[in-house]
Structure 1
Amino acid sequence: MNTNRWLLLGALILPWLSIPILGKKYIKRFLPATIFITTFVHFEGLFAEKRKWWWFFERLHPKMNGMTPFLLGPFTVGTLWIMRFTFGNFFLYIVTNFLVHLAFVFPLMNWLTKIGIGSLIRFNRMQLLALFTFKAAMLYGFQMLVEKIKNIGQDTNQSINN
């Protein structure tokens, strides 16, 4: 296995080592929104590669999308952590996401291109940053919906018990 595949494997596995620290309560609370946005981004990635917005040259497996290690590793776990520390304060949430996305779009994307893992093709960095910011707002809105539904369920259970 070449160096790039080892990097992809590390990107897939290493973030998951932090999950026990996160706590079951927060995993349970934010998992529905995380699954929603991860699924959305997976299909977006398939569409993006078809439209040649970006391309991943290196893959862990020939039948696996090139962005899968990043999606199932740092993206999924990072989503749980960011939601854990920022949900309830939209300004902090959006600033935190913006800074993380800024780090991905500029230095990390430059590095991924340089080492031959992936590259932007028909999408420029500002478009990618705008797309990331839109998805962050969509994720926050989805979590608010989940919280509202959960609260309605709790209110119904309380009224039945009273």
Structure 2
Amino acid sequence: MSNQVIVWSMLILPWLTLFFMPREDIKRWMPAALFVMVTNTIIVDVGVTWKIWETRENIYPLNEIISFVYGALPIGSMWILKYTYGRFWLYAVAQIIGSLVLILFVQPLLHRRGIFVWIDENALAGIGAFTTTLVQLILVYIYQMWQESVFAAAKPLDPNEPDNDP
């Protein structure tokens, strides 16, 4: 399998799974997915700037940001939130398992293929990678709680209510 098939698959295939998620669930979890994209873009960009890793093969127009930041990570987070939201410890365990799969299996595969290469393999090893994962999963959960409170506070417009604007 070519590297281009791998990087395109990491972007496109996760989005195709949304055909199996109800539209209301997509609307509910999409803000958290966007938050995951933004935070992972920052994490990857910091790693590139600090010369911890580099992206050597990617898809156009992405240069430094590996395609799973816009595919597998946000969509995976949506699915995890769908099945674990409201049970933080279950959510945390699922996210940690997902992160370990990424760190222990996916990233080494990408490294061997020359797609996403670690320059300084000790920079985020052990406690650093685990701490980054913990902070991000907590932030995503807090962000989703905040989103839920914003949506709960928003009163839907009643089409039968008269317009009182002058």
Question: What TM-score do the two structures reach when normalised by structure 2?
Answer: 0.84
Q: 1:83 aligns with which of 62, 81, 84?
A: 81
Which letter does structure 2 place at the counterpart of 1:143? Q
The residue type paired with residue 64 of structure 1 is L
Partner of 2:18: 19
Equivalent residue letter for 1:45: V
Q: Comparing both structures, which one devotes a greater share of its residues to helix?
A: 1
2:68 paired with 1:57:
no
Unaligned runs of 5+ in 1: none
2:140 is aligned with 1:148: no
Q: Aligned-residue CA RMSD in angstroms?
A: 2.1
Max radius of gyration: which structure? Answer: 2
- Residues 1:107 and 1:68: Cα distance change in structure 2 (over 3 Å): closer
| 8 A contact 2:45–2:64 mirrored in 1 | no
Contact 1:30–1:84 (CA under 8 A) maintained in structure 2? yes
TM-score by length of 1: 0.86
- For residues 18-50 of structure 1, the C-alpha deviation after alignment (integer angstroms, 9 at most, x for no partner) is 101111111111111211221222133222211
Q: 1:34 maps to what in 2?
A: 33
Q: Is the counterpart of residue 45 in structure 1 residue 44 in structure 2?
A: yes
- Per-residue deviation, 1:133: 2.1
Count of residues in Structure 1 that have an aligned counterpart in Structure 2: 156
Q: CA–CA distance in 1 between the matches of 2:33 and 2:43?
A: 15
Q: What residue ranges of structure 2 are gaps of 5+ in the alignment?
A: 162-166
CA contact (8 A) 1:106 1:125 kept: no
Aligned-residue identity in percent: 24
Structure 2 CA distance, aligned partners of 1:37 and 1:118?
19
SS of residue matched to 1:119: strand
Q: What is the CA–CA distance in structure 2 between the aligned matches of 1:74 and 1:37, rounded to whole Å?
A: 10
Is the contact between residue 11 and residue 74 of structure 1 (CA under 8 Å) also seen in structure 2?
A: yes
Residue 132 of structure 2 corresponds to 131
| Runs of 4 or more above 6 Å deviation | none
